[in-house]
Chain A
Amino acid sequence: MTLNNTIIETLDLKKWYTISRGIIRRQKSYVKAVDGVSIRIEKGEAVSLVGESGSGKTTLGKLLLLLEEPTDGKILFEGNNIIHNNRKKEFRRKVQMIFQNPYTSFDPRLNMFENITEPLVVHNLVNSYKERFSIAINLLSKVGLNPPEVILSKYPHQLSGGQLQRASIARALSLNPELLVADEPTSMLDASLRIGVLNTLKSLQKEMKLSVLLITHDLAAASYLTSRVYVMYLGKIVECGDTQDIIDHPLHPYTIALMDAVLTTKIRNLGELKIKGELTPNYKDNVCRFSSRCPYANEKCLTQEPKLVELEKGHFVACHYPSY
């Protein structure tokens, strides 16, 4: 893999939140939201990051945009480490994010025209009002918001959730970014609108050769949009590989459970899921973090932490007993 094909790469990235206890706040413990994650996204590639709520996927997304300061590790953007770099503004133009809740990610006092084109003004990319307006019209028709002139004059509360989410895609695209991080873009939307937004993302990704990181808990959406998947559990990547490979034969018990939990229109008996309980933080060293919920956990899982190893070509898994 040549380096210049990679748009963003993280090396052993960590984000630990500290919790202080005691009267003089001396006793410290950590929430290891992201704990040694290395991922890579190629130019023009759509990758998804899958995991339950609490697995740290949103934190990783925020780290990639430098919205959070990493505790340790490196983020290489086009080969350069961007942490403590003085070219942050340029980086921020090239990387954009779509947030989970479209209802709260717009300024309610600005109309859609001002909301969508504000990034252009911040980055001094437009000279005249006319230019700003034509860019806005262009963006809206790209994301399928019609008629653009009418939408532009509206305020966020006048639009529906699906329209707002499209508008936030338009806003993210206004700076011609190279990487788009979409954090659960469809989880607040109705099932019937979900497909529309995913389709828009899909066609834009193809057309503009965008790199996309889709953060989601729904493997069905991930498989619809992206060609490669990272599965995350409690701050660690537990499995990654081609979407098709992972869906055909998932190796980690967590991935299997995630797939099992997706409901479809085929009626089935809602039996026991293979995993127990819910995500409980367990940051001990030398323990497989999934062991408390894993149906196959044994001695080895409690004494030795599994490393991410390549079992098949391009298909990595962190489990002592994969592919059950």
Chain B
Amino acid sequence: MSLLEVCKVSVEYKTWNSKIEALNDVSFSLSHNEILGILGESGSGKSTLALTIMKALPKNAKVRNGKIIYKDKDLLNLSESMLNSIRWKEISIVPQNSMNSLSPVHKIGDQLYDILKLHNPSIEKKEALEIIKEKLTISNLGENIVDKYPHQLSGGMRQRVLIATSLLCEPKIILADEPTTGLDVVTQYQILKELKELQDKIKFSMIIISHDISVIVNISQRVLVMYNGQVVEEGKTQSILEEPMHPYTKALFEVQLMVGRIKKEDLKIVEKQDNKIQNFENFSGCVFYFRCPFATQRCKNENPRLTKVKNEHSVACFLYG
């Protein structure tokens, strides 16, 4: 039984003169205690997906259709007060930009207390402090952090504070949006390791969003590859590693840098041809058509559906039937 079910969600952003489709028929499910990785470059709609699940989209966004089922309820149809009983208590988020997500003029302890108080108005200050200290400790931070201001902490510590924040109300699902972007390699390694250990210890489901394939494969059990608002490949991490199918996934693997692999020849590029992708409005073909080396006439006219190719491994590409 899956914990969270996302069915055919489409989201569009309105600008003053046009509409931009950010998500197009995205479906997936998340099981209990599973880490699902969502891989995609900037602009692929992965952050929009996280915001849709939290129902925290900006005003100019509109969910066109779809359902997000959590505990037999459709999150997209719930009232704001009902949602507030789910947000943070059931589903919480580790936002992307750790530098800007904390208030610079409040102590860490006060900021965390505010969140606890909001979701649990009857809580005593002393009890709250106990919970805050406990969450900070399991996130590998000292208890003295409660009296510090964000500017006194390093980037890695701030990211850990945000992880502790997301754990405050003991949610069932945590959405981590690029939790390590902007951190250096050593800190990135430590944060990922800690996230994985936490998940092992307290048991929650997690959706981790990143543009970095090496981050995704090292932490998640299942991977969803997104491109231009669509899921183009989905499968168990092991299966995708052994046999990436979609040309985009393959390309992402090829450009992976490795220590010690000093190649004489240049690595291949899968670069965005921004100037070509402008006329998506009347284009009905495959989303990867403009960058795909294997594109055919059929890809131009028809958009491939996500189809199962192997056991629990689906791909949206005509190369695989």
**Chain A residues at the B interface, C-beta cutoff of 8 Å:** 52-54, 146-147, 150, 160-163, 187-188, 190-196, 198-199, 202-203, 217-221, 223-224, 243-244, 247-248, 257-265, 267-268, 270-273, 275, 278-279
Chain A hits for B184, CB < 8 A:
52-53, 217
A247 touches B154 (CB 8 A): no
> Contact at A202–B217, with CB atoms within 8 Å?
no
| Contact indicator B237/A224 (Cβ below 8 Å) | no
The answer to whether the Cβ of B218 comes within 8 Å of any Cβ in the partner chain is yes
How many A-B pairs have beta carbons closer than 8 Å: the answer is 142
- The interface residues of chain A lying within 8 Å CB-to-CB of B260 are 223, 247-248
Shortest beta-carbon distance from B145 to chain A in Å: 14
| B155 and A270 contact, CB distance less than 8 A | no
The interface of chain B, by Cβ under 8 A from chain A, is 41-42, 154-157, 182-190, 192-193, 196, 211-215, 217-219, 237-238, 241, 251-253, 255-263, 266-272, 274-275
- Could you tell me if B255 and A194 are in contact, using CB atoms closer than 8 angstroms? yes
Which residue from B155, B186, B212 sits with its C-beta under 8 Å from A275? B186
Determine the chain B residues whose CB is within 8 A of the CB of A199 once the complex forms.
Answer: 266-267, 269
**Cα distance A147–B256 when bound, in Å?**
27
**List of 8 A-B pairs having minimum Cβ-Cβ separation, nearest first:** A220-B257, A263-B214, A217-B184, A261-B189, A270-B193, A195-B255, A261-B185, A190-B41
B262 to A243, Cβ gap below 8 A? yes
- Chain A hits for B274, CB < 8 A: 160, 163
Contact A261 B218 (CB under 8 A): no
Instruction: Name the B residues within 8 Å of A219 (CB-CB).
Output: 185, 259
Q: Which of A54, A163, A191, A217 contacts B185 (CB 8 A)?
A: A217
Residues in A neighbouring B218, C-beta threshold 8 A: 263, 267-268, 270
Residues of B contacting A261 in the complex (Cβ-Cβ under 8 angstroms): 185-186, 188-189
| Cβ contacts under 8 Å, B157 to chain A | 278
For residue B191, give the distance in angstroms from its CB to the closest CB of chain A: 10
Q: How far is the CB of B260 from chain A (nearest CB, A)?
A: 5
Q: Give the residues in chain A near B212, CB-CB below 8 Å.
A: 191, 263
Q: Do A150 and B259 have beta carbons less than 8 Å apart?
A: no
Q: Which residues of B contact A247 (CB under 8 A)?
A: 259-260, 262
Our pick among B251, B263, B268 for the contact of A224 (Cβ within 8 Å) is: B263
Given contacts A194-B255, A257-B186, contact A224 B214 (CB under 8 A): no
A166 to B187: give the CA distance in the assembly, Å. 28
| Interchain CB contact (< 8 A) of B213 among A150, A196, A243, A265 | A265
Q: Find chain B residues with CB under 8 A from A224 CB.
A: 257, 261-263, 267
Tell me the complex Cα distance, A219–B263, Å: 14
Residues on B with beta carbons closer than 8 Å to the beta carbon of A221: 257
Query: Other CB < 8 Å A-B pairs besides A261-B188, A263-B192, 13 of them?
Result: A163-B274, A191-B212, A191-B256, A195-B268, A196-B269, A217-B184, A217-B185, A223-B257, A243-B262, A262-B259, A264-B259, A267-B241, A270-B189
Report yes or no: A273 in contact with B255, Cβ–Cβ below 8 A: no
Asked whether, in the complex, the Cβ of B214 is within 8 Å of the Cβ of A264, the reply is yes
6 contacts between A and B (CB under 8 A): A190-B42, A191-B214, A195-B255, A219-B185, A243-B262, A259-B259
Q: Which residues of A contact B266 (CB under 8 A)?
A: 199, 202-203
Min distance, Cβ B245 to any Cβ of chain A, angstroms: 15
Q: How far is the CA of A190 from the CA of B155 in the complex (A)?
A: 19
For B189, the chain A residues whose CB sits under 8 A away are 260-261, 263, 270, 273
A223 engages B186 (CB within 8 Å): no
Q: Shortest distance in angstroms between A196's beta carbon and chain B's nearest beta carbon?
A: 5
Q: Are A191 and B186 in contact (CB under 8 A)?
A: no
Q: Given the complex of chains A and B, what is the CA–CA distance between A2 and B237 in angstroms? A: 53
Shortest distance from the beta carbon of B112 to any chain A beta carbon, whole Å: 21
Q: Give, as a whole number of angstroms, the nearest-CB distance from B19 to chain A.
A: 19
| Neighbouring B residues of A52 by C-beta, 8 Å | 184-187
Report the nearest B residue to A195, measured CB to CB.
B255
Q: State in angstroms the CA–CA spacing of A262 and B185 once bound together.
A: 6
Q: Is the CB of A192 within 8 A of B271?
A: yes
Beta-carbon contact of A223 and B261 below 8 Å? yes
Contacts of B275 in A (CB 8 A): 146-147, 150
Which of chain A's residues has its CB closest to B248's CB?
Answer: A192
Once the chains bind, are B156 and A278 in contact (CB under 8 Å)?
yes
B182: chain A residues at CB < 8 Å are 187-188
B193 cross-chain contacts in A, Cβ below 8 A: 270-273
With the chains together, A279 CA to B183 CA distance in Å? 13
Q: Chain B's nearest CB lies how many Å from the CB of A163? A: 7
